[in-house]
Amino acid sequence: MNQNRHRSHTGCWTCKSARRRCDRARPACEACHRRGLVCEGYAVRLRWGSGIASRGRFRGALLPLEDAVPARLPGRQRDLLRNAQQLFTDFSTTGIQLLHATPTASPLLPLLPQLCRHSEALYNVCVALQALLSAPDDTTRFLHCFDAALTRFRAELASTSNSRNADGLPDATFTAGLLLCTIGSMHGLPWTMHLQGMYSLLRIPPTPSSPDMPFSSHLVEVMGVMDLPGLVLARQTSCLHVWRRHCFGRTGVEPVSGLPRSLLDLYSSTFHYADRDSRSAETAEAALWAWTGEGGNPLQYRLWEVHRLAAILNIRQHSVSVPSVPSVSSDTLAMRALDNLDALRQSCADSQAGSSVMNATSFPLFVVGMEIARLSSPPELRDIIRQCFHAQPQQVDAGLHVLLALLERVWAGDPVDIEQFLRQKNMEIRLI
């Protein structure tokens, strides 16, 4: 090929754009001058295609400048960051559904992204909780996430305490603390000390019950449920009586526990006074028999009846003496509660929407299991208790397995002191 016909790649920009031969004259080429065109010259141009580079050392930068290149994380840190982001996404879609015992959506779900923007601790706690839910056997990953969450939560608590904020504990940090309590209970760790720390920083105004209850009031209710007297085995801190002080007298169903607020009112009072003398026990039992219930669906009615029967049994098990003439024997109460538990299990197995209701059965299962231990009951009754435990969605909850293991020991005739056993293991087990 003729050497003179080779097209130059060093011509002026005007000739390049027109794909013409350029004579490369300086300061402007003669070819452009003859055509009456403005020669755009030969200066180097920085071309930046779609806005952000996808390759090379400028990848991710908004400008082709060294100062604009973002710092790249080391490989392991990048992997941990991606893993945390995926865990948070999974928690937002599936894991959060295990945190309540009602078929309605969690009040936390629509607010979670906004709250996480205000609290790094909340984001880390959600990641740690999902790590436990998705891979309970991967202890290394869970402990790494849990340690980061606990560190950030303590830092935010300290910051709130030092700043003496007039508004008290922010909702985002409050939510992180409650979820941290959930993780502790599910993993068999002490957790009620977090309630003490958060309560000391709260500013709780009186809030009437209403359909548009503020989210902060919902958080106080969740704390009140976690703090109910007599419903945390081997508790290492004193009861704060949050429900009786700040949530008493409201109507409707509390969404996390799945129980009517009027029944939780009774729980906050009866379990506190019933173990003092027989008269208090009779008064507490009479209040439970007189409870009129709340509006709900058939699954909820069964759940609430089971809880009422279990509460009466619990009062009798812990009171100094049983009522002189009980209206219904404890044996009958246990059989009625067990029948309702089995029916509830079968109904939830047939209804995907109702599976969350089984989250609220730990307390009646444990109380009824302890009651049938002293009865000359056939093995089939114990099988029902086992099946109901295994039907609970939160199978990664170590507390559930500990409760069932303790019941198995009691059924086998082992006179184990449950409170002492759990304290020796440094565990706190929630029943509701």
Q: How far apart are CA 369 and CA 381, in angstroms?
A: 9
The predicted pLDDT at position 217 comes to 87
The pLDDT value given to residue 305: 94
Contacts (Cβ under 8 Å, ≥6 apart) of 253 = 102, 259, 260, 261, 294, 296, 300
Residue 233: DSSP 8-state? E
Q: Which two tokens stand for residue 163?
A: 């700043």
The pLDDT value given to residue 107: 78
- Which of 425, 309, 426 lies closest to 361, judged by CA? 309
CA–CA gap between residue 216 and residue 91 (Å, rounded): 21
CATH code matching the domain that covers 1-46, chosen among 1.10.600, 3.30.70, 4.10.240, 3.40.1280: 4.10.240
Amino acid at site 254: E
Dist. CA 129–CA 426, nearest whole Å: 21
Confidence of residue 274 (pLDDT cuts 50, 70, 90): very low
pLDDT tens per residue, range 123-132: 999 999 998 8
**What is the C-alpha to C-alpha distance for residues 430 and 418, in angstroms, rounded to an integer?**
13
Is the pLDDT score of 237 beyond 80?
yes
Least Cα distance to 257 among 357, 348, 338 occurs for 357
Confidence of residue 336 (pLDDT cuts 50, 70, 90): very high
Contact predicate 322/374, CB 8 Å: no
Q: What single string gives the DSSP state of each residue in 348-411? A: HHH-STTGGGGGG-HHHHHHHHHHHHTTT--HHHHHHHHHHHHTSS-TT-HHHHHHHHHHHHHH
**Tens digits of per-residue pLDDT, 149-196?**
999 999 988 888 776 665 678 899 999 999 999 988 888 889 999 999
DSSP 8-state secondary structure symbol assigned to residue 234: T
pLDDT averaged over the chain?
81
Non-local CB neighbours of 426 within 8 Å, separated by 6+ positions: 189, 190
d(CA 346, CA 325): 35
What is the chain's alpha carbon radius of gyration, rounded to the nearest angstrom?
Answer: 32
Residue 349 to residue 372: CA distance in whole angstroms: 24
CA-nearest of 238, 283, 240, 245 to 265 is 245
For the chain, the domains span 1-46, 83-250
- The token pair that represents 302 in the structure block: 């069964």
Strand partners, 259: 254
Extract the tokens encoding 110. 């629509």
Out of 70-84, 107-121, 236-250, the most confident range is 236-250
Least confident stretch, 57-66, 93-102, 190-199: 57-66
Q: Per-residue pLDDT tens for 373-397?
A: 887 778 888 999 999 988 876 666 7
